[in-house]
Structure 1
Amino acid sequence: MSKLTLQDWILILTLVSLTALGPLSIDMYLPAFPKIAGDLQTPINKVQISLSTFLGGLAIGQLFWGPISDKYGSRIPILLSLFIFIVTSLACVYVQDIKWMWIYRFLQAFGSSGGIVIARAIVNKRYDKDQTLKIFSILALVGGIAPIVAPLFGNVILKYFDWQHVFTAMACFAGISILMTFFFLKDTYKNKSQNLKVNIILKNYFRLFENKTFITYTLIGSVAYSCLMLYISNVPVLVMEVGGLSSTQFSFVFMANSCGIMIGAFLTSTILRKFLLPKNIIRLAASIQVISACTLWILIETEVSIYIQLIPLFFFVLPLGMLFPTTTTLALEPFKAESGTASALFGASQLAFTFITSITLNSLNNGAMNIVAIVLTSCALFSFIINQVTYSKY
């Protein structure tokens, strides 16, 4: 088990700047929704559509940049994707119509997805399985920090400047990523024989689904990501509308649970990977989630205090920090040469599964939190079962 060198840590810091760009772009402008709606003279629900178009661009962009990175390496595609991100971020500064905001946000996400998908591919190509798990755990730590700091950045900017400068700040963050990529990222393996015809790319994507290991851990990772999104979209209702806590108290709850994800990722990178096989880490995480979700369901049904309900909620979120790096490591490990393609399909599958889960929940639910708890329990149980019944060399 070789230790990471100073050069490795510089590379990790560069990858952190790339993977953080997407979450920052999602959360930084959330506090500006009312001002954007006012200035563009549009209902706030139409501003919210720009978040949906961003997620769509994030999914489609990953499927585009993955094969590109397999053929041309990492640096050029990353620099091009960041250039697209900067141009579209600055375009949002001058937008006068909400429909153009939707378009620019889609293209902005298309740009940011390049860094996200290629960063995963770089880690998978360059490191062995143990180091990969450690590095993906570090990146998951960033995933826990971003939802905390991004709205804070947005609020600080709104305090002194107009909402347009939130997008200027996004462009500046991307500029930092460009500098770090240019100076610190050496190019990775290039496969010049890689064919970029659409039918060939589609065949390569379908071929990934022939690998049982990829299917298993992409599915578990997608379930985990959908749990995170369901948590984010429903916890305000549980804590404030049903629980009766204030928006300030909700902020502390959200921060505490984000720290839970970070704790899970930290434990995975430091302790768990040394004593447990990755598959057993998933078993542990899914077991904790099943118990926590069932407990939360019972507490909601019995209408106990919201403060009691927050305990199992925290322990449901914490294992996500264990699941994200572990499932990423196991899903991508068989595909060193096609890391970009595998990383792209892995990321796009997460967003697609989340979309399906959200649609299903919305069709079943009228705002009742017990239904949400049942869905979370089902997702956790599904992850546990599929991890148990799938035979794997890991």
Structure 2
Amino acid sequence: MEKLTSQEWILIFTLVSLTALGPLAIDMYLPAFPKIAKDLNTEINNVQISLSTFLGGLAIGQLFWGPISDKYGSKKPILISMSIFIISSFACIYVQEIKVMWLYRFLQAFGSSGGLVIARAIVNKRFDKDQTLKIFSILALIGGIAPIVAPVLGDMVLTYFDWQHVFTTMALFATLSIIMTTVFLKEDTQTRVSSLKFRTIIGNYLRLFESKVFITYTIIGSLAFSCLMLYISNAPLLVMEKGGLTSTAFSFVFMINSCGLMIGSFLTSSILRKRMDPKNIIKLGTTIQILSAAVLLLLIELNISIYLQLVPLFTFVLPLGMLFPTSTTLALSPFKLESGTASALFGASQLAFTFLTSLLLNSLNDGSMSIVAIALVACAVISLIVNQTTYPKK
């Protein structure tokens, strides 16, 4: 494969600005939860609901923007979606009731989902499979910085300003995305779908389910995303409450594991894709996860030191950097003309799987970390089995 040109690198950084906006909007306001709750005279639990409405908007928005981009191209839908994000971000500054914030956070996510789904579609449309895997790995690598930087950036804003300016900062990031899109993103000239009728859109989504390859790697990508969310939501309990470490130590652990995910993405983009078939990259990643989660389960059952438990936790998170770009590439590559629709269903499926997995785990979990470790083993085992049943076209 030829090296990426300077123009292609500029395009990649433009796409990074679009894909990183969602994670930034999720994590940047987390340090402000107590202040928001106090100012809006509500409980922190109610502020946390705004995170749930954001995830809902992210799922629904992707299903909306995908077909739109297939019909009208990439540039205009991105500009409109980023404008929605900016307007709703500024609206969050003036909220007086928490329920109104729930609505605005939904609209924020609806806007940011446009950049996320269309960025994936752009990569799939404009590059061949080998380049696509490399670029998705780069996006995952650079995008992995967002969850690390966002809470720190939010805390810095809170040091000098009120919590409302966290949303001002989000709007500024979206403005930067608009500028980069306007200047650097060239509109694609490929043939576009002819209709946005509801029945046509639903029919296009249903046709994706006729592809065993798409179903297979959407399931694997969704299970990987579910693992990431299970890790994020349960890591504080494992590290601080069960392990007895401080919040500062937890932040360090979270940062190290995020770097692990980035290492997995780097290995995929620089080494693995040159030496292994994508299907075998997934096999390697899920095998590492199975072994890591099994060791973690054993250490939890034996009540071994938290410091030893952190080792298999790290080696479980690292392969996610291998699974995300590879599953995305394999799921979307057969659908060049319908990249937006395929990208939308792929992304929405990740959130749906995560919701169902969390719902199932919450119904079974009694506060034991063993159940979480079992869930991680199960997700990795299912991914490995599903991967071995499908042979994507080369």
Q: TM-score, normalised by structure 1?
A: 0.99
Match of 1:155, as an amino acid? D
Report the Cα distance in structure 2 between the residues aligned to 1:70 and 1:99, rounded to whole angstroms. Answer: 34
Which ranges of structure 1 fall in alignment gaps of 5 or more residues?
Answer: none
The 5-angstrom pairing of residues 287-326 of structure 1 reads 287-326=287-326
Residue 144 of structure 2 aligns to a residue whose secondary structure is: helix
Residue matched to 1:26: 26
Report the Cα distance in structure 1 between the residues aligned to 2:27 and 2:387, rounded to whole angstroms. Answer: 32
CA-CA distance at 1:144 after TM superposition: 1.6
Q: 1:192 to 1:323 in 2, by over 3 A?
A: closer
Q: 1:379 to 1:192 in 2, by over 3 A?
A: closer
Residue 20 of structure 2 aligns to a residue whose secondary structure is: helix
Residue pair 2:192, 2:337 contacting (<8 A) in 1 also: no
Report the Cα distance in structure 1 between the residues aligned to 2:26 and 2:68, rounded to whole angstroms. Answer: 25
Report the Cα distance in structure 1 between the residues aligned to 2:366 and 2:262, rounded to whole angstroms. Answer: 32
Residue pair 1:238, 1:369 contacting (<8 A) in 2 also: yes
Residue matched to 1:242: 242
CA-CA distance at 1:167 after TM superposition: 0.1
CA-CA distance at 1:193 after TM superposition: 4.4
CA-CA distance at 1:192 after TM superposition: 4.8
Residue matched to 1:121: 121
Residue matched to 1:8: 8
- State the Cα deviation string for residues 217-239 of structure 1 (Å, max 9, x = none): 00000000000000000000000
Report the Cα distance in structure 1 between the residues aligned to 2:383 and 2:332, rounded to whole angstroms. Answer: 18
Residue pair 2:70, 2:193 contacting (<8 A) in 1 also: no
CA-CA distance at 1:188 after TM superposition: 1.4
RMSD: 0.8
Report the Cα distance in structure 1 between the residues aligned to 2:389 and 2:68, rounded to whole angstroms. Answer: 35
Report the Cα distance in structure 1 between the residues aligned to 2:193 and 2:144, rounded to whole angstroms. Answer: 38
Residue matched to 1:56: 56
Residue matched to 1:164: 164
Residue matched to 1:338: 338
The 5-angstrom pairing of residues 56-75 of structure 1 reads 56-75=56-75
Match of 1:352, as an amino acid? A
- State the Cα deviation string for residues 109-148 of structure 1 (Å, max 9, x = none): 0000000000000000000011100100011113321110
CA-CA distance at 1:2 after TM superposition: 1.7
The 5-angstrom pairing of residues 141-152 of structure 1 reads 141-152=141-152
The 5-angstrom pairing of residues 195-344 of structure 1 reads 195-344=195-344
Match of 1:160, as an amino acid? Y
Residue 12 of structure 1 aligns to a residue whose secondary structure is: helix
Match of 1:169, as an amino acid? T
Same amino acid, percent of matched pairs: 74
Q: 1:270 to 1:192 in 2, by over 3 A?
A: closer
Report the Cα distance in structure 1 between the residues aligned to 2:272 and 2:369, rounded to whole angstroms. Answer: 33
Residue 304 of structure 2 aligns to a residue whose secondary structure is: coil
Match of 2:295, as an amino acid? T
Q: 1:193 to 1:250 in 2, by over 3 A?
A: closer
CA-CA distance at 1:389 after TM superposition: 2.1
Residue matched to 1:351: 351
Report the Cα distance in structure 2 between the residues aligned to 1:209 and 1:364, rounded to whole angstroms. Answer: 30
Report the Cα distance in structure 2 between the residues aligned to 1:139 and 1:45, rounded to whole angstroms. Answer: 33
**Which region of structure 1 is more displaced relative to structure 2, 193-202 or 214-223?**
193-202
Report the Cα distance in structure 2 between the residues aligned to 1:263 and 1:314, rounded to whole angstroms. Answer: 11
Report how many residues are paired.
394
Report the Cα distance in structure 1 between the residues aligned to 2:171 and 2:194, rounded to whole angstroms. Answer: 32
CA-CA distance at 1:191 after TM superposition: 4.1
Match of 1:284, as an amino acid? L
Residue 147 of structure 2 aligns to a residue whose secondary structure is: helix
CA-CA distance at 1:391 after TM superposition: 3.0
Report the Cα distance in structure 2 between the residues aligned to 1:17 and 1:178, rounded to whole angstroms. Answer: 9
Residue pair 2:16, 2:143 contacting (<8 A) in 1 also: no
Residue matched to 2:386: 386
- State the Cα deviation string for residues 306-328 of structure 1 (Å, max 9, x = none): 00000000000000000000000
Q: TM-score, normalised by structure 2?
A: 0.99
Residue matched to 2:137: 137
